[in-house]
């Protein structure tokens, strides 16, 4: 994608500061019942959308959340926005537990946490004018004063023509609609905006503009973002700190540069190697994952990543074997230094990436199994396996 | 559409039209319009649609009948739409036990043999002037309206509930919740405006149902009293002597048919014009 011009400066020290985070999520679990039956609904199982997730969001900083489709990113976002009740776990806002607040008690807090949604078509009411949409938060919270003037100021700030407040959403393009959504989120001057894939529905050229707008707003207003995406390039661009999710768990938490320069979880390594680097001509060898993401209704025991984990196979020394510990014990997020946390029994060490590549290359040449090579990274169609990619030398990792 | 406007105009100006013709709706012309055997005379230059068995002008009675039919049709639909939309919104948006209970009630009402029930109620309540339920329910136009509304609101309820079930999953509803809007505000400000087209379409299809319903009840002699001219009543009266006075049934029958047809066409037209796919 086009490289946007603004890049938030990474502040590695941010995570070790003693101040209270804006949001502190601990042990978030969300299970959705799978029901059967029309009259008497019986739960016949559960989707484990979140299986115990911890993260912190600091004022003025961006927490990026990456992971494949269905790994629970939106669920986590919706819980922080209090659109969804967690099954277990707590959310603290500025040190105050807000998990059990009623809707009415939440109303003042709503001013400080706002959401920008993924789909700029579905997230704006087609029957309301842009002015009504952006003024809605002001109306709900009884903000006095000249609302029309405020709406027009907001429109100007997000790069919309303030004269267009009487128009309806369908008269705008996707990028403009997302700006409307951003203006609505800004109306109450929040401290945190949760952006759930705010650009993935947009054209690549438009994506950069919207990301730049978000970056500018962060610098001007000291906003914090929880920024969700399955696109590593986008997350890298906007985040100070990144959480990598897999099947309802956070598998790695690190400051941005630490995560990209020194990924410690095998899944992160695979994700990074599957992402296009953006540097032209740089052939990246891809570490490709075997099989599909398991169903969150029946997550594998032990480490949920073990059926696909290349490092586990490296440890066992046998491509068909996984160490017992990976199969039976669930790894918890553990500090590996400088605020870098990883949930893995055998975190990646220097040189592991090359060895994993070799195992993979030998498997592919031996078995010629194309199935093995399908990268399960959504939206990256160019990550399809090509044998020369795997065997050729490259600069990746 | 033109026909419907014409009907409305006729209904509003019924007394004016009657005075232009020079006959009142209950005025008896038994000297001029009944023959020696007491049978009514057919259409002539003064009585275009002939006279009925009591010697009253059929045309003038039909003009007044337009009032009854439209009033019943519109009022009954208004009540049914109001109830159906409100309950449909609540059931669809809140879901859970509220939805289950309301949906069951709607299903039960829809599965009742409407006509049978209506006849029962009207007979019970219409037998005497005092009505039934200690005078709370009196026979007459309002009873017909209420019965019709009672049996048709589940129609609207089901449609509204279905659409709301889809709409509440849309992100703009989450967006409204995220800014702190409460359920009432979401139902009426966010969801209701998106229901306007289906409501209009189905309301226009419910009007002819109510018109017909009034005609059925009046035909059975259970609707409005004889002094209030109504198409159904006129058809019923005419059916007793149809072999000597064909005009008594024919003209009210045609107008009833045309009215029902016109409203159905209007509904279909509106559905096409307001198709959500075309208004995106
Ligand atoms: N309301 C719900 N009822 C049942 N299951 C749900 C519900 N919402 C989400 N899930 C399931 O929970 C899991 C996590 O969903 P979630 O939307 O959080 O994923 P995601 O990471 O945001 O994915 P995507 O990238 O596709 O948006 C998925 O398996 C999904 O099917
Ligand atoms: S715990 Fe084992 S299976 Fe899980 S990621 Fe680490 S090495 Fe792989
Ligand atoms: Mg999502």
- pLDDT band at residue A352 using 50, 70 and 90 as cut-offs: confident
Interface test with B, best of A79, A124, A125, A128 (most B CBs within 10 A): A125
Interface test with A, best of B171, B275, B278 (most A CBs within 10 A): B171
Per DSSP, helices labelled H in A171-264 are 174-186, 204-221, 232-238, 256-261
Q: What is the pLDDT of residue B87?
A: 95
Which secondary structure element, helix H or strand E, spans residue A156, and what is its range?
Answer: helix A147-157
How many angstroms is it from A247 CA to the middle of ligand 1?
10
For ligand 2, residues with CB inside 6 Å are A 266, 303, 305-306, 309, 311-312, 326, 331, 344-346
Of A140-154, A317-331, B134-148, least confident by mean pLDDT is B134-148
**Cβ-contact B259, B67 below 8 angstroms:** no
Residue nearest to atom 2 of ligand 1 (CA): A32
**Cβ-contact B184, B242 below 8 angstroms:** no
Is the pLDDT at A7 greater than 50? The verdict is: no
Segment A194-227, tens digit of pLDDT: 999 999 888 888 899 999 999 999 999 999 999 9
Is the pLDDT at B135 greater than 60? The verdict is: no
Look at B177 and A83 and tell me if their CB atoms are within 8 Å.
yes
Is the pLDDT at B280 greater than 80? The verdict is: no
Nearest to A126 among B174, B175, B194 (CB): B194
- pLDDT band at residue B130 using 50, 70 and 90 as cut-offs: low
Q: In sequence order, what are the residues at sequence separation of 6 or more whose Cβ sits closer than 8 angstroms to the Cβ of residue B94? A: B183
**Cβ-contact B202, B159 below 8 angstroms:** yes
Interface test with A, best of B103, B173, B174, B175 (most A CBs within 10 A): B175
Q: How far B98 CA sits from the closest chain A CA (Å)?
A: 14
How many angstroms is it from A304 CA to the middle of ligand 2?
8
Q: What is the pLDDT of residue A315?
A: 82
- pLDDT band at residue A386 using 50, 70 and 90 as cut-offs: very low
- Top-confidence range, A247-256, B4-13, B54-63: A247-256
CA of B174, nearest ligand number: 1
Is the pLDDT at A177 greater than 80? The verdict is: yes
**CA proximity to A57, closest of A75, A81, A83:** A81
From A73, A243, A246, give the residue whose CB has the most ligand 1 atoms within 8 Å, as the site to mutate: A73
- Top-confidence range, A211-220, A354-363, A373-382: A211-220
Q: What is the pLDDT of residue A167?
A: 92
Q: How far B181 CA sits from the closest chain A CA (Å)?
A: 6
How many angstroms is it from A85 CA to the middle of ligand 1?
14
Higher pLDDT: B30 or A117? It is A117
- pLDDT band at residue A6 using 50, 70 and 90 as cut-offs: very low
From A31, A32, A304, give the residue whose CB has the most ligand 1 atoms within 8 Å, as the site to mutate: A32
Is the pLDDT at B271 greater than 90? The verdict is: no
Which DSSP letter does residue B68 get?
A: H
Segment A141-172, tens digit of pLDDT: 888 888 899 999 999 999 999 999 999 998 99
Q: What is the pLDDT of residue B222?
A: 66
Segment B93-114, tens digit of pLDDT: 998 899 999 999 999 988 888 7
From A68, A75, A249, give the residue whose CB has the most ligand 1 atoms within 8 Å, as the site to mutate: A75
Is the pLDDT at A279 greater than 90? The verdict is: no
Copy the structure tokens of residue B115: 């006509």
How large a percentage of chain B has pLDDT more than 90? 21
Q: How far B86 CA sits from the closest chain A CA (Å)?
A: 19
Higher pLDDT: A69 or A376? It is A69
- Residue A121 Cβ contacting ligand 1 at under 6 Å: no
Residue nearest to atom 2 of ligand 2 (CA): A326
Domain ranges of chain B: 66-274
Both ends of chain A: CA-CA distance in Å?
A: 20
Strands A241-246 vs A62-66: parallel, antiparallel or unpaired: parallel
Is the pLDDT at A111 greater than 90? The verdict is: no
Higher pLDDT: B66 or B122? It is B66
Nearest to A114 among B170, B178, B196 (CB): B178
Of A62-76, A152-166, B40-54, B101-115, least confident by mean pLDDT is B40-54
Q: In sequence order, what are the residues at sequence separation of 6 or more whose Cβ sits closer than 8 angstroms to the Cβ of residue A237? A: A3, A4, A7, A211
Q: What is the pLDDT of residue A15?
A: 43
- pLDDT band at residue A375 using 50, 70 and 90 as cut-offs: very low
Look at B180 and A126 and tell me if their CB atoms are within 8 Å.
no
Q: What is the pLDDT of residue A37?
A: 65
Place of tokens 């870098």: A340
Q: How many CB atoms lie within 10 A of CB B116?
A: 9
| Alpha-carbon distances, residue B232 vs A40, B9, B69, B255 (angstroms) | 46, 20, 9, 11
Segment A15-35, tens digit of pLDDT: 444 578 899 999 999 999 887
Q: What is the pLDDT of residue A225?
A: 96
Strands A192-196 vs A224-229: parallel, antiparallel or unpaired: parallel
Which secondary structure element, helix H or strand E, spans residue A51, and what is its range?
Answer: strand A42-57
Q: What is the pLDDT of residue B101?
A: 93
Would you say domain B66-274 falls under CATH 1.10.3720.10? yes
Backbone conformation region of residue A276, classed left if phi is above 0, alpha if psi is from -120 to 50, else beta? beta
Segment B73-87, tens digit of pLDDT: 889 999 999 999 999
How many angstroms is it from A47 CA to the middle of ligand 1?
9
CA of A49, nearest ligand number: 1
């Amino acid at each position: 994608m086009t490289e946007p011009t603004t890049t938030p400066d990474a502040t590695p020290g941010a995570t070790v500061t003693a101040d209270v985070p804006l949001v502190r999520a601990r042990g978030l679990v969300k299970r959705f019942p799978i029901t059967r039956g029309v009259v008497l609904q019986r739960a016949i199982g559960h989707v484990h959308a979140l299986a115990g997730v911890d993260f912190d969001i600091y004022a003025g900083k961006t927490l990026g959340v990456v992971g494949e489709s269905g790994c629970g990113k939106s669920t986590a976002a919706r819980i922080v926005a209090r659109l969804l009740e967690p099954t277990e776990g707590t959310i603290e806002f500025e040190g105050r537990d807000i998990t059990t607040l009623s809707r009415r008690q939440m109303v003042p807090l709503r001013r400080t946490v706002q959401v920008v949604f993924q789909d700029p078509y579905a997230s704006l009411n087609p029957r309301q004018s842009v002015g009504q949409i952006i003024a809605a938060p002001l109306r709900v919270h009884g903000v006095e004063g000249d609302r029309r003037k405020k709406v027009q100021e907001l429109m100007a700030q997000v790069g919309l023509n303030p004269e267009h407040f009487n128009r309806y959403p369908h008269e705008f393009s996707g990028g403009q609609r997302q700006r409307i959504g951003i203006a609505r989120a800004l109306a109450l001057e929040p401290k945190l905006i949760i952006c759930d894939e705010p650009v993935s529905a947009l054209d690549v050229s438009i994506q950069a503009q919207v990301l730049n707008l978000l970056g500018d707003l962060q610098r001007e207003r000291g906003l914090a973002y929880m920024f969700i995406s399955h696109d590593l390039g986008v997350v890298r661009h906007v985040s100070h700190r990144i959480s990598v999710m897999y099947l309802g768990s956070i598998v790695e938490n690190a400051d941005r540069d630490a995560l990209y320069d020194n990924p410690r979880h095998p899944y992160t390594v695979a994700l990074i190697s599957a992402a296009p680097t953006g540097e032209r001509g740089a052939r990246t060898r891809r570490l490709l994952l075997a099989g599909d993401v398991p169903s969150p209704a029946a997550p594998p025991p032990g480490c949920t990543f073990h059926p696909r984990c290349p490092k586990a196979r490296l440890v066992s020394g046998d491509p068909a074997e996984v160490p017992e510990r990976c199969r039976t014990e669930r790894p918890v997020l553990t500090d590996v230094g400088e605020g870098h946390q990883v949930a893995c029994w055998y975190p990646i060490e220097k040189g592991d990436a090359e060895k994993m590549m070799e195992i993979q290359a030998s498997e592919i040449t031996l078995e010629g199994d194309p199935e093995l090579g399908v990268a399960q990274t959504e939206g990256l169609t160019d990550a399809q396996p090509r044998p020369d990619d795997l065997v050729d030398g490259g600069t990746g990792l | 559409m033109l026909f419907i406007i014409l009907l409305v105009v006729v209904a509003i100006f019924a007394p004016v039209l009657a005075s232009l013709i020079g006959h009142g709706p209950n005025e008896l012309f038994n000297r001029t319009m009944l023959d020696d055997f007491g049978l009514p005379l057919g259409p002539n230059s003064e009585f275009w649609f002939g006279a009925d068995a009591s010697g009253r002008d059929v045309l003038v009675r039909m003009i007044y009948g337009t009032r009854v039919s439209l009033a019943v049709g519109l009022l009954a639909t208004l009540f049914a739409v109001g109830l159906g939309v409100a309950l449909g919104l609540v059931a669809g948006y809140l879901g859970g036990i509220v939805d289950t209970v309301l949906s069951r009630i709607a299903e039960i009402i829809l599965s009742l043999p409407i006509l049978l029930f209506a006849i029962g109620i009207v007979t019970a309540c219409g037998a005497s002037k005092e009505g039934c339920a200690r005078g709370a329910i009196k026979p007459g136009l309002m009873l017909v309206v209420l019965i019709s509304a009672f049996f048709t609101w589940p129609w609207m309820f089901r449609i509204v509930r279905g659409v709301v079930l889809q709409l509440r999953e849309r992100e703009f509803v989450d967006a409204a919740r995220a800014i702190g809007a409460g359920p009432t505000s979401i139902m009426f400000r966010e969801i209701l405006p998106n229901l306007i087209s289906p409501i209009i379409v189905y309301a226009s299809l419910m009007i002819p149902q109510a018109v017909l319903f009034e005609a059925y009840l009046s035909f059975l002699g259970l609707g409005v009293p004889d002094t209030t001219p109504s198409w159904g009543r006129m058809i019923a009266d005419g059916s007793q002597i149809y072999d000597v006075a064909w005009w008594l049934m024919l003209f009210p029958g045609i107008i009833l048919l045309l009215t029902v047809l016109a409203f159905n066409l209007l509904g279909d037209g509106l559905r096409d014009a307001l198709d959500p796919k075309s208004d995106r």
